[in-house]
Amino acid sequence: MATKKAPAKKPAAKRKTAAASATKAAAAKSSVAKASKEDLLHYYKEMLAIRRFEEKAGQMYGMGLIGGFCHLYIGQEAVVVGMRAATTENDTVVTSYRDHGHMLACGMDPDGVMAELTGRRGGYSKGKGGSMHMFSHDKKFYGGHGIVGAQVPIGTGIAFAHQYLEEPAVSLTYLGDGALNQGQVYESFNMAALWKLPVIYIIENNKYGMGTSIERSSAKSTELYHRGQAYGIPGQQVDGMDVLAVKEAGEKAADHARNGKGPFILEMMTYRYRGHSMSDPAKYRSKEEVQKMRQERDPIERLRGMMLDQGLVEETELKDLDRAVKARVSAAAEFAQNSPEPDPSELFTDIYVEA
């Protein structure tokens, strides 16, 4: 029987990236002029609130008040805050286990998030879900998923629901650079493009999937925004450490998805300062690399410097804001610790939804 010969692979160097549908890197340049002082202060406060919340969570984990898995978002704050600024309250969010920042950016109550982290009754899942399992139908946050890449078909399904129900909403589906190598991501891309679903795939490229660098896990290009090319999905690479650049790119992507043009991919170039989770050997990157990123690219310091340089705010105004944010986070930690643990009778409740 004659067998079909697989076409010979071109040598890697000769294989070209036909970036036809992908717009070229980082078009978005920050422009303070486009945002009001109130807007800028709001973004600053939102990013700072996530940073302080996560620092507190890290501290409480160290004190044994939080158990199980806990993945901190420190360093990546500009991504969710910029995307939130670019979208509406009708838009839905789904993400991975690195999810506390997404919840806070969606407007979820820090008390409920911290209480869930500490396994208390006042938590979003009554203390029975923990860090990776919180949801808020009210705030349109659909998890919090521990299986790498599994949130992508879910986000695509939510986009299908938006289209089917004729809702003017976009599904913001966040995933990591590591998750992008999962097969179900590409099944989702195909369906989303085929049915022109209103979804934005936001790749948070923090350069590592646990201890594996993007260079070690990519067969060809380490630029991820053109991974939807085979399906005709446009993509853009964005400076994910610049909240204004994120907002600008997010607006463009949301406009595309909301107006029936189908999915869009945003590759956010970002960085996590802490380990993958609370246990991390930290052997896969140097301290200098982390330090350099913190010093040169930090999204909060960058916005702070920008506002001060332009004379938009006084140091004292920012200090007052810092104090208010810290006090809010302390109150959340207090609430969590004062909330009782779930009653043993709750062990088998909320497992199945009766339909």
Q: Give me the residues that bind ligand TPP (CB under 6 A), please.
A: 96, 98, 146-148, 176-179, 206, 208-210, 276
Sign (positive/negative) of CA torsion 331, 337, 340, 343? Answer: positive
Contact between residue 199 and residue 257 where contact means Cβ atoms under 8 Å apart: yes
In whole angstroms, how close is the CB of 203 to Mg ion at the nearest point?
A: 9
262 interacts with, out of Mg ion, ligand TPP, none, CB within 5 to 8 A per kind? none
Query: Quick one: 178 or 299, whose CB is closer to ligand TPP?
Result: 178
144 interacts with, out of ligand TPP, Mg ion, none, CB within 5 to 8 A per kind? none
Q: Which long-range contacts (CB under 8 A, 24 or more apart) does 322-328 make?
A: 322/48, 325/45, 325/48, 325/49, 325/52, 326/52, 328/49, 328/110
In whole angstroms, how close is the CB of 177 to ligand TPP at the nearest point?
A: 4
Q: Which residue in 157, 95, 155 sits closest to 131, CA to CA?
A: 95
Contact between residue 219 and residue 191 where contact means Cβ atoms under 8 Å apart: no
In whole angstroms, how close is the CB of 146 to ligand TPP at the nearest point?
A: 6
In whole angstroms, how close is the CB of 11 to ligand TPP at the nearest point?
A: 28
Position with the least CB separation from ligand TPP:
176
In whole angstroms, how close is the CB of 265 to ligand TPP at the nearest point?
A: 15
Cα(215)–Cα(40) distance, integer angstroms = 35
The 3-state DSSP class for residue 339 equals coil
In whole angstroms, how close is the CB of 297 to ligand TPP at the nearest point?
A: 17
Identify the helix (H) or strand (E) that includes residue 299.
helix 299-309
Query: Quick one: 149 or 178, whose CB is closer to Mg ion?
Result: 178
Query: Quick one: 286 or 310, whose CB is closer to ligand TPP?
Result: 286
Query: Quick one: 147 or 331, whose CB is closer to ligand TPP?
Result: 147
Residue of 130, 157, 176, 235 interacting with Mg ion (CB under 5 A): 176
276 interacts with, out of Mg ion, ligand TPP, none, CB within 5 to 8 A per kind? ligand TPP
Query: Quick one: 30 or 96, whose CB is closer to ligand TPP?
Result: 96
Query: Quick one: 75 or 157, whose CB is closer to Mg ion?
Result: 75
Residues 189-218 binding Mg ion (CB under 5 A) are: 206, 209
In whole angstroms, how close is the CB of 249 to ligand TPP at the nearest point?
A: 19
Identify the helix (H) or strand (E) that includes residue 41.
helix 37-62
Q: CA dist 53 to 49, 102, 218, 331, 339, Å?
A: 6, 12, 33, 11, 18
In whole angstroms, how close is the CB of 178 to ligand TPP at the nearest point?
A: 3
* Amino acid of residue 29: K
101 interacts with, out of ligand TPP, Mg ion, none, CB within 5 to 8 A per kind? none
Q: CA dist 230 to 189, 198, 227, Å?
A: 9, 18, 7
Structure tokens that stand for 337 in this block: 């610790």
Residues 52-91 binding Mg ion (CB under 5 A) are: none
Residue that is written with structure tokens 């913001």 in the block: 172
Position with the least CB separation from Mg ion:
176
Query: Quick one: 162 or 276, whose CB is closer to ligand TPP?
Result: 276
Q: Is 149 in the site for Mg ion (CB under 5 A)?
A: no
Residue of 54, 99, 116, 177 interacting with Mg ion (CB under 5 A): 177
Identify the helix (H) or strand (E) that includes residue 265.
strand 264-269
Query: Quick one: 203 or 325, whose CB is closer to ligand TPP?
Result: 203
- The residues with which 171 forms a beta bridge, in sequence order, are 92, 199
- The residues with which 205 forms a beta bridge, in sequence order, are 269
148 interacts with, out of ligand TPP, Mg ion, none, CB within 5 to 8 A per kind? ligand TPP
DSSP string, 158-205: HHHHHHHTT-S--EEEEEETTGGGSHHHHHHHHHHHHTT--EEEEEEE
Query: Quick one: 111 or 204, whose CB is closer to ligand TPP?
Result: 204
Which residues would be at the binding site for Mg ion (CB under 5 A)? 176-178, 206, 209
